[in-house]
Structure 1
Amino acid sequence: MALEACDLLIEAGHVVPVQPHGVVLANYAVAVRDGAIVAVLPVADARARFEAKDVVSRPDGVLIPGLVNAHVHNPMTLLRGVADDLPLMEWLQGHIWPIEAAVISPEFVADGVTLAIAEMLRGGTTCCNENYFFPDVQAATYRKHGFRARVGLPVIDFPTAWARTADEYFDRAGEVHDQWRNDPLVATAFAPHAPYTVSDANFERIRMLADQLDVPVHCHVHETAHEVAEARKNLGQSQIARLDRLGLVNDRLIAVHMTQLTDADIALCAERGVSVAHCPESNLKLASGFCPVAKLAAAGVNLAIGTDGAASNNDLDMFGEMRTAALLAKAVGEDASAFDAFTALRAATLGGAKALGFDEAIGSIEPGKQADLVCVDLGALETQPLHHVVSQLVYACGRHQVSDVWIAGHRKLESRILVDMDVDGIVANARQWRDRIAAVRTA
């Protein structure tokens, strides 16, 4: 009997499919054809069934779905470390926005995204939810490097280098959406900055267009106690209540941060199908507050994990973010069993995919889904002995243990070496941006 042809067969010591939840498969293989997963089966059965063009054997490796970074500002990798140890509004208004006003350009965005892609791939991230200016340049850069992304179409109530008026923001958003609407890797979302920087009229326009175009709405919501208190004082209601009044609290909403929530807020999000993008390390660093992850999970709210931008984190390390999310949830919830390792991994994969509307294609290792796959080497002494695979992934291993990465079956990282990316050139380019930004700050 002739063997079945496939493009790629990955044999791993363990496979964690994420769906079904809580499952770890020992000595399993994943077969890939035309960029999609065609089978998940024991290694011996895979060898008996498939003839692969490429066989990758990782006996000490754990194969997981590619990590989904549910909230990023990736051009801001070029601002990593420029303004640390400051509260959010001082950091933003006193430092970040003035620097951006001086340097932001299509070139800045393309170079920052390229640096971010290289960092994310080396850390096992294969998809991100982007929120920044010049989405046309972002989308082209992600596509150039074969990286999966949901690119935000920015809306904010003041002029920027991207657009000057409300009409221009929406006109340009429509153009970018139309350009990328059928792309297999890059899609769009509306990205209103925050309730305190977007008017009711613009939010209503976003709601109407998001429904028409069938895209998510990606927004910072309830990020700090100060902004929530200001909303109550000035509007007589919380930000989430205002968004609900405007028709935006629904299953399209990706609510980022959500550090200040009442039980009623949580119940509303659960009822309406809101996804929450939890950014624990950025929230900690900016002293923004604590997202009540355990309560959200108990209520059935879909949870995703994001790093936020490298200017406020200061990395794009989803392994570190998973660990921080799990530990912080236990402390905030005063429950050592809260947000266990399997749940944290799910939030960083399938939870993120669901938030982005990509869960039919990615987020778990199942036949029919795209082969966005990551192999993590747990053979190092730092992750030995291997009693519990997922506990080691979340609580012990680091992103430096990511050995191999594929997106839609295409090899992006091989034995820690980036494929088709010039690391030396990316580093040199980042250094010249450092010098340009330094000149702006001292001018």
Structure 2
Amino acid sequence: MTAETITAADTRINARWLIPVEPFGVVLEHQAVILQGSRILAIVPQAEADQSYRTRETLDLNQHVVLPGLINLHGHTAMSLFRGLADDLPLMTWLNDHIWPAEGKFVSEQFVADGTRLAMAEMLRTGTTTFSDMYFFPEVTAQAAHDTGMRAQICFPLMDMPTVWGSGPEEYLRKGADLIEQWQRDDYIMPAIGPHAPYTVSDGPLGAAVELAQQTGAAIQLHLHETAFEVAEAVKASGQRPLARMADLGVLGANTQCVHMTQIDESDLAHLKMTSAHVVHCPESNLKLASGFCPVQKLLDHDINVTIGTDGAASNNDLDLFGELKTAAMVAKAVAGDAAALSAHKALEMATLSGARALGRDQDIGSLVAGKLADLIAVDLSDPYLQPVYDPASHLVYSNHGRAVSHSWIHGVPQLQDGRLTRIDVPDLVLRVNEWRKQILS
């Protein structure tokens, strides 16, 4: 073996099991993932890596499964500071009587900065490497994610009413256009447009959002068909289902992410399929707020891209995407009346490659393929509650919880090492969070 045949690289990760997501349904054993800079250089059997690669660092994960980092496609990160504040209430009561008043009183730039760091610490600790946020002061969230080195879609909020972030639609759109201009060429941040919901945004601002999306290529994410009440009220007022209204206004398209979608009829399926819009499933939030059940398998059967999100910690109450996957798979089977609905591998794809497709980033992230960005995680399957291991994919969806995540890399940079966060000062963060708790309780 000559020196010319040996390739130098940064990091070698020896994995007991590897789930690349592409190709679908595959579990590989005793593979080496070779990282060079921000990208995956190669994935080869360990014996081949011994002969072909020399790396500055080698990590032996002999009881772990390595897979792409998870993509949490919907949340309100700063609302982690409201975790458990107003539980066991229906959606509109929860919003109108508790959450919106609390936001009016407490939300500020510092609130968003601290709440975002709290959320990122939880997400990184449980396997998420990319998240989508829709909340006030999106410029603060974008900066916090960028400083931490976490990949994020940042949706600026848009609604008819004034909030702590602006006086109304014109100001939101102006600030949002500035956000897009600042971040749209960044490696980590994907700026996007976040109309809150059809019942809080009128036709004019929605039309302006569509125009901004067409001009900039920014995605649109909105809450849609979250409850039967929302749909019934829209039909009563206008004779039209909210999704049909969005289609008429041009809101639906291949760049559109429809969050919740618990109420779906045949006309809704036709609109989603025709426009290539994506659905973001938030099963635990939907269960907690008794919002309804998204018919995931029916959507998949119609070739509609379904992704997954936790929603905010105020309505979940955690940001553990592995837990969300288990709930999604269980609920999908019950709704479909079919134990084969939403298999473990399909659920994992929903949290990785499907999310990347919705972001328009499937050429870069969402699967472990040579040439893609090095966004990946390792999950330790050595604990007694995960033994014996017959099928790692099954364990990740049905037996695992996010605390078994031991390592993660984003853009090739270690974010979690042996369960310890590398880029977030946890003791300082806890002190800040406790100060907010005292203020909110008072």
Could you tell me which residue of structure 1 aligns to residue 187 of structure 2? 184
Residue 264 of structure 1 and its aligned partner are, at CA, apart by 2.1
Paired residue for 2:135, among 125, 132, 137?
A: 132
Q: In structure 2, how many angstroms separate the alpha carbons of the residues matched to 1:173 and 1:438?
A: 32
1:232 and 2:235 are equivalent in the alignment: yes
SS in 2 for 1:10: strand
Q: Deviations over 1:142-193 (max 9, x none)?
A: 0010000000011110111111032111110111111111110011110000
- For 2:380, the equivalent position in structure 1 comes to 377
Residues 252-278 of structure 1 show CA distances to partners (whole Å, capped at 9, x for unaligned) of: 110000000002211321222111000
State the distance in 1 between where 2:270 and 2:69 align.
30
For the aligned residue pairs, the C-alpha RMSD in angstroms reads 0.8
Which residue among 395, 411, 414 is the counterpart of 2:414?
Answer: 411
What secondary structure, in the 3-state scheme, does the structure 2 residue paired with 1:71 have? Answer: coil
SS at match of 1:179: helix
AA paired with 1:343?
K
| Structure 1 CA distance for aligned equivalents of residues 212 and 397 of structure 2 | 39
- Mapped pair 1:199 → 2:181: no
Task: Please report the TM-score for the alignment, with normalisation by the length of structure 1.
Answer: 0.98
Equivalent of 1:300, from 300, 303, 307?
Answer: 303
User: Unmatched 5+ residue regions in structure 1?
Assistant: none
* Alignment-derived partner of residue 103 in structure 1: 106
Do the aligned residues in 2 keep the contact of 1:17 with 1:365 (CA within 8 Å)?
yes
- Residue 344 of structure 1 pairs with residue 347 of structure 2: yes
- Consecutive aligned runs of 4 or more in structure 1 exceeding 4 Å deviation: none
Per the TM alignment, residue 31 of structure 1 is displaced from its structure 2 partner at its CA by 0.7
2:158 alignment counterpart: 155
* Partner deviation per Cα, 1:23-62 (whole Å, 9 max, x = no partner): 1111001111111011111011112111111111101110
Percent identity between the two aligned chains: 46
Give the Cα separation in 2 of the matches to 1:264 and 1:154: 28
What is the CA-CA distance between 1:102 and the residue it aligns to? 0.3
Contact 2:374 2:411 in 1 (8 A): yes
3-state DSSP class of the match of 1:17?
coil
Task: Note if contact 2:136-2:157 (Cα within 8 Å) is conserved in structure 1.
Answer: yes
The residue correspondences of 1:307-322 to structure 2 (distance < 5 A) are 307-322=310-325
**1:243 alignment partner in structure 2:** 246
Q: CA deviation at 1:421?
A: 1.7
1:25-40 alignment, distance < 5 Å: 25-40=28-43
Is residue 77–residue 311 contact of structure 1 (8 Å, CA) maintained in 2?
yes
Q: Which range moves more in the overlay, 21-30 or 165-174?
A: 165-174
2:172 pairs with 142, 159, 169, which one?
169
The yes-or-no answer on 1:48 pairing with 2:77 is no
Q: In the alignment, is residue 209 of structure 1 matched against residue 212 of structure 2?
A: yes
What are the within-5 Å matches in structure 2 for residues 363-374 of structure 1? 363-374=366-377
Is contact 1:270-1:299 (8 Å) kept?
Answer: yes
One-letter amino acid matched to 2:380? D
Native 8 Å contact 1:129 1:356 kept in 2: no
* 3-state SS in 2 of match to 1:311: helix
Question: Which residue does 1:262 correspond to in 2?
Answer: 265
Q: Is the 8 A contact 2:177 2:212 kept in 1?
A: no
Matched residue SS, 1:5: strand
1:69 aligns with 2:72: yes
In the alignment, structure 2 segments of 5+ residues that lack a partner are none
Distance 2:110 2:43 in 1: 42
CA distance in 1, matches of 2:180, 2:229: 34
In the comparison of the two structures, how many residue pairs are matched? 439
Any idea what the Cα deviations from partners look like across 1:276-299, whole Å, max 9, x if unmatched? 000000000000000010100100
Q: Which of 333, 338, 344 is matched with 2:336 structurally?
A: 333
Cα distance per residue 1:365-400 (max 9 Å; x no partner)? 001111000000111111111111100110001111
Give 1:354 deviation, angstroms.
1.1
1:112 corresponds to which letter in structure 2? Answer: G
Whole-angstrom CA distance in 1 between matches of 2:57 and 2:438: 44
